[in-house]
């Protein structure tokens, strides 16, 4: 009872546990499970409201049930058709809802879709098409267009436990993805399409502003400026993106609490300063509250212009609570405000719990709030007692401390999702973050204000110089020896243990909170005990790769070139590139053979290779159906197994083969497109026992 005032801080944690429970189920629950559980627990809590600890336990279970119900309801609200198989090329018509600039083309999202000569086609709510042409078409948001395109269902995980794009697409209401094989033709322009909703106008302005910024500031500088001012970072070259990641500066490119807070903060302080110059207002009016209200409006406009993504909405919500606290003369930043912001986000968009942006942003804010909750009063006294030199060193120390704490707090999530850690991120952030806060974002705000008058170049040109310096820092730091450490993938259970340990350490105040350090250490131990697979094969049988005991990765040709599946495999293995070794893996047009720990693996692309591989291989991986017995094989994985189970991971330990499919844990969920009942992968028990 000593920390009773801290109990409400665990409400978002319990909601998150309920959401996680929903997503972990093997089958979609009946629609009444969530509301029935929440209603029953609410009634029980009311009936037992005078029984202290029993009531507390029931309220905790009620919060968990509400999280489960919120996730279940959200999944039902976004439900829409998903195409079952690859289509095309087909003649597709749709209205452009979104345009994203990519390094090698455009990516458009279409709504109100139709396919020629298919009147009964159940059209997805959104179809996302990639366009790669030497001369991109002149199109705009709201245009009704027609093109020939190949459509596919959203892809599942590239490996067991990897990112599930199909699940993310479900909550974005994307029912098909694909690529255009012809340039889109505008059959009805936006002005004649009745496309006049407010969100559509924002989309048009956003796309036009991004193009204007890239034209005003050429090259990668303009692409970064467009990312910071419109949220469209698709035009940033991959080399620059990789340098920013390796230098630990990737967070500067994703619109988050840093950017929203800086826009609002500069608006707040500049407006308050200008209002204070008018004595009549400064003495009689609540100018601090006026500045907070106007800053909140400016931050809302910035959120809309940058796309209004869930991370940006979350950042704006937290900022709104801070500004509301200022207007109500309350403490602006506290754990309670953070907890209520998390509750609002989890109830509004429960799927955001699974996103890296939610996890890392809240982890950083929780860690920083915990640190400054203890050090804040001390730092205020130091600032009040010191001169300019002391204040400067205090600022440098605060930036260093903030970067260090945020890096430590987010490192488990970064390692889990990206399998890499930037070793010199502290040094890079010490240079780039102050420059972003004191130069780049103020210039961006000035450019927004000057844009209606056509004077935006007065702010964009100096902003470009600062961006150029930040990019130079990123490339320089990323080029230092040992700039990046790669880590193999570990289980989500290990991440959950580390996260709960960190929350226990930060949310409590008593000595017992240091028990969180033990939980975090246990989570780290679990992560280090990971069991990476020896062989991976994708769900279509197009690619296969093997990890050797020395850490090298061999890839079945012709998949040595860059590929999203291969990139995912390398990242999860903690490798930076693949190699070739014809002594271990030999490939031809029909398939590959791999020598693995004294055994032979046959990777079959063409049915003509089956006869030979079935005579010599201990493990047969086949992209085609295997309809006869393989006498030499201890195990056979063929096209049907891949179709049912998705990408497959093979582990070979002491002569015993075990397999895991990407679909094994996805279950029968709306986004997983369940296959027919999965057959067991065939094995030879007699050979296995030998």
Tens of pLDDT, residue by residue over 361-387, are 888 889 988 888 877 777 767 766 666
Residue 379: CB atoms within 10 A of its CB come to 14
Backbone angles phi, psi at 662, to 5 degrees: -65, -30
pLDDT band at residue 688 under the 50/70/90 scheme: very low
Sole residue written with tokens 């109990």: 7
- Of 608, 606, 630, nearest in space to 619 by CA: 630
Sole residue written with tokens 């730092």: 379
- Of 501, 575, 584, 585, nearest in space to 543 by CA: 585
- Of 582, 544, 583, nearest in space to 560 by CA: 544
- Of 479, 474, 461, 465, nearest in space to 432 by CA: 474
CA-CA distance, 416 to 571, in Å (whole number)?
10
Spell out the domain ranges in the chain.
4-77, 87-196, 224-486, 492-528, 535-689
Average pLDDT over residues 189-210: 71
The model's pLDDT over 206-219, given as tens digits with 9 standing for 90+, comes to: 888 888 999 899 88
Q: Are 489 and 161 in contact (CB under 8 A)?
A: yes
The CATH number for 87-196, chosen from 1.20.144, 2.60.40, 2.40.50, 2.60.120, is 2.40.50
* Joined tokens for residue 554: 């061999």
Reported pTM = 0.87
The model's pLDDT over 648-660, given as tens digits with 9 standing for 90+, comes to: 999 887 778 889 9
3-class state of residue 549 by DSSP: coil
Residue 645 confidence (pLDDT) above 80: yes
pLDDT band at residue 458 under the 50/70/90 scheme: very high
State the pLDDT at residue 37. 95
Q: Which residue has the higher pLDDT, 334 or 602?
A: 602
3-class state of residue 236 by DSSP: coil
CA-CA distance, 351 to 409, in Å (whole number)?
21
Backbone angles phi, psi at 130, to 5 degrees: -95, 130
Q: Are 325 and 337 in contact (CB under 8 A)?
A: yes
Cis peptide before 387 (omega within 30 of 0): no
Residue 196 confidence (pLDDT) above 50: yes
CA-CA distance, 586 to 63, in Å (whole number)?
56
Residue 428 confidence (pLDDT) above 80: yes
Average pLDDT over residues 274-300: 88
CA-CA distance, 486 to 465, in Å (whole number)?
32
State the pLDDT at residue 6. 87
Average pLDDT over residues 70-96: 92
Share of the chain above pLDDT 90, in %: 39
Sole residue written with tokens 């055994």: 599
State the pLDDT at residue 654. 76
pLDDT band at residue 557 under the 50/70/90 scheme: low
Minimum mean pLDDT among 243-252, 302-311, 625-634: which range? 302-311
Query: How many residues does the structure list for the chain?
Result: 690
Residue 394 confidence (pLDDT) above 60: yes
Q: How far is CA 437 from CA 463, 464, 578, in A?
A: 12, 14, 39
CA-CA distance, 79 to 671, in Å (whole number)?
9
Q: Are 650 and 535 in contact (CB under 8 A)?
A: yes
Residue 403 confidence (pLDDT) above 90: no
CA-CA distance, 672 to 154, in Å (whole number)?
9
Q: Are 143 and 151 in contact (CB under 8 A)?
A: no
CA-CA distance, 478 to 484, in Å (whole number)?
8
3-class state of residue 17 by DSSP: helix
The model's pLDDT over 246-285, given as tens digits with 9 standing for 90+, comes to: 998 888 887 777 788 889 888 998 999 898 888 888 888 8
State the pLDDT at residue 69. 97
């Amino acid at each position: 009872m000593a920390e009773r005032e801290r109990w409400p801080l665990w409400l978002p944690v319990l909601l998150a546990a309920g959401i996680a429970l929903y997503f972990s189920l093997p089958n979609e629950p009946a629609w009444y499970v969530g509301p029935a559980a929440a209603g029953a627990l609410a009634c029980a809590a009311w009936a037992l409201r005078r029984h202290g600890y029993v009531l507390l336990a029931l309220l905790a279970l009620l919060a968990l049930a509400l999280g489960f119900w919120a996730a279940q309801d959200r999944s039902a609200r976004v439900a829409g058709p998903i195409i079952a198989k690859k289509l095309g090329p087909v003649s597709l018509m749709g209205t452009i809802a979104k345009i994203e600039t990519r390094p090698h083309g455009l990516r458009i999202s279409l709504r109100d879709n139709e396919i020629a000569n298919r009147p009964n086609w159940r059209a997805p709510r959104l179809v996302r098409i990639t366009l790669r042409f030497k001369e991109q078409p002149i199109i705009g948001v709201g245009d009704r267009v027609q093109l020939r395109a190949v459509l596919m269902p959203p892809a599942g995980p590239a490996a067991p436990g990897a990112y599930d794009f199909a699940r993310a697409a479900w909550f974005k209401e994307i029912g098909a993805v694909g690529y255009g094989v012809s340039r889109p033709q505008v059959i009805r322009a936006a002005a004649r399409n009745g496309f006049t909703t407010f969100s559509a106008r924002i989309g048009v302005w956003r796309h036009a502003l991004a193009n204007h910024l890239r034209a005003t500031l050429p090259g990668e500088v303009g692409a970064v400026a467009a990312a910071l001012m419109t949220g469209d970072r698709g035009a940033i070259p991959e080399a620059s993106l990789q340098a920013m990641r390796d230098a630990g500066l990737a967070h500067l490119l994703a619109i988050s609490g840093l950017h929203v807070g800086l826009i609002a903060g500069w608006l707040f302080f500049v407006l308050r300063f200008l209002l204070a110059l008018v004595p009549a207002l400064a003495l009689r009016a609540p100018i601090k509250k006026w500045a907070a209200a106007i800053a909140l409006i400016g931050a809302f406009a910035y959120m809309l212009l940058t796309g209004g993504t869930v991370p940006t909405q979350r950042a704006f919500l937290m900022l709104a609570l801070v500004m509301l606290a200022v207007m109500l003369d309350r403490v602006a930043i506290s754990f309670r405000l953070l907890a209520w912001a998390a509750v609002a986000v989890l109830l509004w968009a429960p799927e955001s719990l699974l996103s890296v942006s939610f996890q890392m942003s809240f982890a950083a804010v929780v860690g920083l709030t915990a640190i400054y909750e203890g050090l804040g009063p001390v730092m205020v006294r130091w600032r009040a007692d010191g001169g300019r030199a002391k204040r400067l060193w205090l600022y440098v120390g605060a930036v260093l401390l903030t970067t260090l704490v945020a890096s430590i707090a987010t490192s488990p999530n970064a390692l889990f999702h990206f399998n890499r850690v930037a070793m010199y991120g502290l040094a890079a952030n010490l240079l780039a973050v102050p420059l972003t806060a004191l130069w780049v974002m103020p210039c961006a705000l000035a450019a927004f204000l000057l844009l209606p008058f056509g004077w935006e170049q007065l702010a964009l040109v100096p902003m470009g110089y600062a961006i150029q310096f930040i990019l130079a820092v990123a490339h320089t730091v990323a080029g230092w020896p040992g700039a990046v450490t790669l880590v193999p993938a570990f289980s989500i259970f290990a991440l959950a243990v580390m996260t709960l340990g960190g929350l226990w350490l930060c949310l409590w105040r008593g000595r017992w909170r240091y028990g969180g350090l033990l939980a975090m250490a246990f989570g780290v131990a679990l992560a280090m005990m990971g069991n990476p697979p020896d062989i991976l094969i994708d769900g279509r049988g197009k690619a296969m790769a093997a990890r050797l005991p020395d850490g090298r990765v061999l890839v079945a040709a012709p998949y040595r070139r860059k590929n999203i599946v291969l990139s995912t495999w390398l990242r999860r293995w903690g490798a930076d590139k693949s190699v070739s070794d014809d002594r271990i893996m030999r490939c031809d047009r029909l398939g590959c053979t791999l020598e693995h720990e004294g055994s032979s693996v046959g990777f079959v692309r063409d049915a003509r290779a089956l006869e030979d591989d079935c005579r010599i291989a201990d493990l047969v991986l086949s992209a085609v159906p295997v309809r006869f017995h393989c006498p030499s094989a201890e195990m056979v994985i063929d096209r049907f197994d891949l179709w049912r189970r998705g990408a497959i991971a093979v582990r070979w330990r002491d002569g015993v083969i075990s397999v895991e499919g990407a679909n094994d844990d996805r279950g029968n969920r709306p986004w997983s497109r369940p296959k027919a009942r999965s057959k067991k992968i065939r094995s030879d028990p007699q050979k296995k026992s030998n």
